[in-house]
Amino acid sequence: MKTLIIIPTYNEVDNLRPLLSEIFARVPESDILIVDDNSTDGTGKLADEIHTGNPRVNVMHRPGKLGLGTAYLTGFKYAIAHNYDAAFEMDADFSHDPRYLVASTARDQWQWKHFRTLYARHSRTRLHCRVSLLSA
């Protein structure tokens, strides 16, 4: 399953590298989209540096602090446009603990606790931009 983890950031320079290490230790085949709201502490620059060394990490820079909700929507639109099967949202401050990311080997799917899930599998869903948010 092609999976994207969306991580909005604003001044998370100290958390970003440890968070990504924790995520990739648990789900190394996932892709990550960092949506940075023009952080003043260098988070966006660090995200670009991480992307240079790891193509599974992508970065979107927004012009200012536009909010968490719109950052997730931006990420979900990215997931649909890039044909991801599933997209998950995760806060950069470790309020969503990466230890709950568990790969399910039995069904080749993800089992996630404490995350909301977006499935955009059908072309009709993609065409109409209708998405289903499920609580995990």
| CA 38/CA 45 separation, integer angstroms | 10
The three-class DSSP label of residue 49 is: helix
Instruction: Categorize the per-residue pLDDT at 8 as very low, low, confident or very high, splitting at 50, 70 and 90.
Output: very high
Say what the pLDDT of residue 102 is: 57
21: how many CB neighbours lie within 10 A of its CB?
A: 10
Give the global pTM: 0.75
The better pLDDT of the pair 73, 117 is held by 73
Q: Which domain holds residue 73?
A: 3-135
The mean per-residue pLDDT over the stretch 19-29 comes to 91
Q: What's the domain count of the chain?
A: 1
Domain CATH for 130: 3.90.550.10
Instruction: Categorize the per-residue pLDDT at 105 as very low, low, confident or very high, splitting at 50, 70 and 90.
Output: very low
The better pLDDT of the pair 10, 109 is held by 10
